[in-house]
Amino acid sequence: MPNLDLVVREIADEMRQRRDRGEVATYIPELACIDAQAFGLAVIGVDGRVAAAGDSDTAFSIQSISKVFTLTLALGKIGDRLWRRVGREPSGSPFNSIVQLERERGVPRNPFINAGAIAVTDVILSGHQPREALGEILRFMQFVADDPSITIDEAVAASEQRTGFRNIALANYMKSFDALDNPVDFTLGVYFHHCAISMSCRQLAMAGRFLAHLGRNPTTGHSVVQPERARRINAVMLTCGHYDGSGEFAYRVGLPGKSGVGGGGILAISPGKASIAVWSPGLDANGNSHLGRVALEALSKRMGWSIFGA
Ligand code: GLU
């Protein structure tokens, strides 16, 4: 069995030397100035061992990775009825695409494209004030990560709220099909804020442990979701977690994963083995962390973790 500590350190060293770092996203002004040289990797085994290297304790904007946790919460609230509000098929479209929505009459293709995540946020918001819904999402994140220090970066949320015209358009368009229950401003306010949760690789890998371990926190034994639900969330991450780059990610890495465009992070799950978080702000053409994907490909290969075999 390869030595996980060594593999993680080797990969971080290799990534530090690479020049192909991708392009940092600029569409959220507050995030445009992140250091493209940053790189962090943290792996938490289901046996509790931690292997981390690089900037693994530096907090970054998790952006769309938060959608894994809002999906988990919304399924907890309304169960399989959620699938009437949002599909679970890969979109083959960019993260903020509007084209499919017209054909599909306001029902987004999956919970991880922006339109789908906005619909999921709307489900969590129903029956609450935006502040309560946001508090619930943040507390859930703190619970699964076992870390009450996790916060929301208000400057990032405000920056996206000022400039997120595409998301505002998506939400209004869905509202025109009656596909949102709450006022558009309320749903978007909660959405922008949960995307602005700030976490380090280590905190994020901690938060993902339940998905690697049949829905339970392997350290405390607390159940977060039933094993069947963890399996299904992993399935949606595998097929939809990287937007129109999901096929390429499955082909190269072979693990369920969810990327965040703005911050450049990826959460990946090796079922039964480990929860992994990687951060490198430069993106590839599909808006996924370039070196994050390269590092995960190396990790999965060297540890023999691809779900498709060696
Ligand atoms: N807040 C970002 C947006 O809605 C999330 C996108 C992402 O990180 O993939 O555009």
212-247, pLDDT tens digit by residue?
Answer: 999 999 998 999 999 999 999 999 999 999 999 999
221 Cα–ligand 1 center, Å: 32
Which of 34, 69, 96 for mutating ligand 1's site (highest number of atoms within 8 Å of CB)? Answer: 96
**Cα–Cα dist 243/67, whole Å:** 12
**Cα–Cα dist 65/267, whole Å:** 7
Ordered strands of the 151-152 beta sheet: 60-61, 197-199, 151-152
Residue 254 · residue 307 · CB < 8 Å? yes
Closest C-alpha residue for ligand 1 atom 4: 114
| Mean pLDDT value across residues 111-126 | 97
Q: Is residue 117 over pLDDT 90?
A: yes
Q: Which residues line ligand 1 (CB under 6 A)?
A: 63-64, 95-96, 114, 160, 167, 195, 260-262
Catalytic site includes residue 261: yes
Catalytic residue among 243, 258, 280, 294: 243
User: Average pLDDT of the chain?
Assistant: 96
Q: State residue 75's pLDDT score.
A: 98
Catalytic site includes residue 67: yes
Q: State residue 45's pLDDT score.
A: 97
Q: Is residue 183 over pLDDT 90?
A: yes
| pLDDT interval class at 310 (50, 70, 90) | confident
| Mean pLDDT value across residues 21-47 | 93
Domains within the chain, CATH numbers bracketed: 4-58+199-303 (3.40.710.10), 64-197 (3.40.710.10)
